[in-house]
Chain A
């Protein structure tokens, strides 16, 4: 029986019925990854340790978690002990971490099998997966089209049915936007819900790990395992982790959903508008109530983000100096020359651009005008969210203003064109709020995503609303033919 396109719940049922063993399942997942090599969604495979772990899990009858024996892929930004971790950058091309990130370790301790590390935008900086040192990832729905980014490899691996789920990270939309472009479900939890320890930092006040999967139910299963306080990350929240599966089926007839006035949805592509209207109709049919809400400062999210994220990135990426780890240039004159040459050879253009913007924004004379100003506007944006969540449970927007586009067609002349891809997703990172993207149809055979944003730590409401939507529609069941990748 094929395992391709199966969800975590379905694979667990196969394991429970013994229609497949854990080692067979791992091998099958690795085989699919090889079969669809042309997608370029993996940077490294875990061919040695993965099958070994699978055999151990098969013998260990004590592991009863819902992900025991299930193959998963990890974004190549999570450190994995003994398994190369590159952040899709030349500067970390040969980096073998001496430890495993907490989020991945928790998934592995619950019995899941890591089959490989997924391709991504270099250091998670990008919205199309075109900045990877290891080349573009194709969208499983259309060859030569972007899968979205930065967690593009994870989204493509799940959409192609190679693994039922994968980890990602989201700094400005990097889980939700690729999930939308690839027709799968992606959850960015509340800032601090999941430990960031062992994640290679891009923008520390915005970065958050989360799951990409075929269904909201599978996202809930993964969040149950990933969430929780970690002594090694002082920004991880020390609040009880609820059972995210408990309220999944709860009726949503009390749900009040806000539509953000300032997003001017009537200016979007008419097909994007029409999918959005259809989903609104479905939610209304299921008993949800819609109200228009105003977040007066939300339109400032993109410029706010492009001041804060590069500033944090320029600081975080100063650790890559060619001394302790990562690429070191040959034939350098002195220590300063070693820093400059190693960094210049190791980083790609988009990473350099963001480091330079951040360095400029933080430099003497500009700090107040750019960095501090952006952090003040960030508070105004967060205040806007606090106000609307006094009257609504969730907010609903499209995940992205458009569907996936062809390689090399956006942002080449003007980088801001690509930055606007994240128009709808960025604000929840600035405010630290949870948000989910679920597939809600297609335009010209390419998937479109619907985003729901929740209040602080209300992942339960997001997952409930997303699950009920999926119980009453079949958009999440659509599968790409994959015939162009054989």
Chain B
């Protein structure tokens, strides 16, 4: 892993790393990747991945309409909002 890869991953994750921490992060990532890379020695030919320990179909329930509108409460937690929407910097000129 080089600094360029670290920069790409940071951008993908929408994170910025302080310049003075960048070397340390690179080293930490290398150590962790080496750790998880150790799995390569295990033979997993024809083994299906186990994405959830339950492996059961999600339970379904009736789709019943509820009038539980908490719009105001949800908007209260946003740093910027008007009475209907979350506000963000202008996206379209």
Q: Bound complex: CA of A234 vs CA of B57, how far in Å?
A: 9
Which residues of chain B come closer than 8 Å to A318, judged between CB atoms? 14
Not counting A328-B79, A374-B36, A380-B47, a sample of 20 additional A-B residue pairs whose C-beta atoms are within 8 angstroms of each other reads A96-B77, A98-B70, A191-B54, A205-B51, A205-B53, A234-B60, A238-B59, A300-B38, A328-B80, A334-B89, A344-B17, A356-B13, A361-B36, A363-B9, A369-B37, A376-B49, A377-B44, A379-B48, A431-B53, A432-B52
Per-position 1/0 for B28-67, Cβ under 8 A of A: 1101110111111010100111111110001111000000
Within 8 A of B (CB), among A327-367: 327-328, 332-341, 343-344, 347, 349, 352-353, 355-357, 359-361, 363
**Smallest CB gap from A336: residue in B:** B14
Which residues of chain B come closer than 8 Å to A333, judged between CB atoms? 89
B39 near A375: Cβ-Cβ < 8 Å = no
Dominant secondary structure of chain A at its interface with chain B: helix
Question: In whole Å, how far is B43's beta carbon from the nearest beta carbon of chain A?
Answer: 9
Which residues of chain B come closer than 8 Å to A237, judged between CB atoms? 54
Which residues of chain A come closer than 8 Å to B80, judged between CB atoms? 328
Question: Looking at the complex, which one of B15, B61, B77 makes contact with A355 (CB distance below 8 Å)?
Answer: B15
Question: In whole Å, how far is B55's beta carbon from the nearest beta carbon of chain A?
Answer: 9
Q: Bound complex: CA of A377 vs CA of B70, how far in Å?
A: 43
Question: In whole Å, how far is A321's beta carbon from the nearest beta carbon of chain B?
Answer: 7
A303 near B36: Cβ-Cβ < 8 Å = yes
Please give the number of chain B residues whose Cβ is less than 8 angstroms from any Cβ of chain A in the complex. 50
Top 5 nearest A-B pairs (CB, nearest first) are: A432-B53, A375-B49, A328-B79, A376-B44, A379-B50
Question: Looking at the complex, which one of A303, A306, A325, A430 makes contact with B53 (CB distance below 8 Å)?
Answer: A430
Question: In whole Å, how far is A73's beta carbon from the nearest beta carbon of chain B?
Answer: 23
At the interface, yes or no: A49 with Cβ under 8 Å from chain B?
no
Question: Looking at the complex, which one of B15, B38, B44, B88 makes contact with A303 (CB distance below 8 Å)?
Answer: B38
B10 near A356: Cβ-Cβ < 8 Å = yes
Within 8 A of B (CB), among A85-125: 95-96, 98-99
Query: Which residues of B are at the interface with A, using a C-beta cutoff of 8 A?
Result: 5-6, 9-10, 12-17, 21, 25, 28-29, 31-33, 35-40, 42, 44, 47-54, 58-61, 70, 73-74, 76-80, 86, 88-91
A376 near B48: Cβ-Cβ < 8 Å = yes
B88 near A335: Cβ-Cβ < 8 Å = yes
Q: Bound complex: CA of A375 vs CA of B76, how far in Å?
A: 39
A324 near B53: Cβ-Cβ < 8 Å = no
Which residues of chain A come closer than 8 Å to B52, judged between CB atoms? 191, 205, 235, 432
Please give the number of chain A residues whose Cβ is less than 8 angstroms from any Cβ of chain B in the complex. 73
B50 near A302: Cβ-Cβ < 8 Å = no
B78 near A325: Cβ-Cβ < 8 Å = yes
B14 near A415: Cβ-Cβ < 8 Å = no
Q: Bound complex: CA of A321 vs CA of B73, how far in Å?
A: 18
Which residues of chain B come closer than 8 Å to A280, judged between CB atoms? none
A373 near B54: Cβ-Cβ < 8 Å = no
**What are 14 A-to-B residue pairs whose CB atoms are below 8 Å?**
A98-B77, A191-B53, A307-B39, A334-B89, A336-B14, A340-B15, A352-B25, A355-B13, A357-B36, A359-B13, A374-B39, A375-B50, A377-B44, A414-B28
**Smallest CB gap from B11: residue in A:** A340
Which residues of chain A come closer than 8 Å to B89, judged between CB atoms? 332-335, 337-338
At the interface, yes or no: A416 with Cβ under 8 Å from chain B?
yes
B54 near A231: Cβ-Cβ < 8 Å = no
B44 near A369: Cβ-Cβ < 8 Å = no
**Smallest CB gap from A234: residue in B:** B58
Q: Bound complex: CA of A241 vs CA of B31, how far in Å?
A: 43
Given known A-B contacts A324-B77, A353-B28, A357-B32, A380 and B44 have beta carbons under 8 A apart: yes
**Smallest CB gap from B75: residue in A:** A324
B50 near A306: Cβ-Cβ < 8 Å = no
B35 near A95: Cβ-Cβ < 8 Å = no
Which residues of chain B come closer than 8 Å to A469, judged between CB atoms? none
Question: Looking at the complex, which one of B14, B33, B49, B61 makes contact with A360 (CB distance below 8 Å)?
Answer: B33
B16 near A303: Cβ-Cβ < 8 Å = no
Which residues of chain B come closer than 8 Å to A378, judged between CB atoms? 49-50
Q: Bound complex: CA of A361 vs CA of B9, how far in Å?
A: 10
Q: Bound complex: CA of A304 vs CA of B42, how far in Å?
A: 11
Which residues of chain B come closer than 8 Å to A322, judged between CB atoms? 79
Q: Bound complex: CA of A20 vs CA of B21, how far in Å?
A: 54
At the interface, yes or no: A297 with Cβ under 8 Å from chain B?
yes
Q: Bound complex: CA of A344 vs CA of B22, how far in Å?
A: 13
Question: In whole Å, how far is A348's beta carbon from the nearest beta carbon of chain B?
Answer: 12
Which residues of chain A come closer than 8 Å to B10, judged between CB atoms? 356
Q: Bound complex: CA of A180 vs CA of B53, how far in Å?
A: 25
A356 near B31: Cβ-Cβ < 8 Å = no
Per-position 1/0 for A401-428, Cβ under 8 A of B: 0000000000000111001000000000
B50 near A324: Cβ-Cβ < 8 Å = no
**Smallest CB gap from B87: residue in A:** A323
Which residues of chain B come closer than 8 Å to A335, judged between CB atoms? 88-89, 91
Question: In whole Å, how far is B54's beta carbon from the nearest beta carbon of chain A?
Answer: 6
A376 near B47: Cβ-Cβ < 8 Å = yes
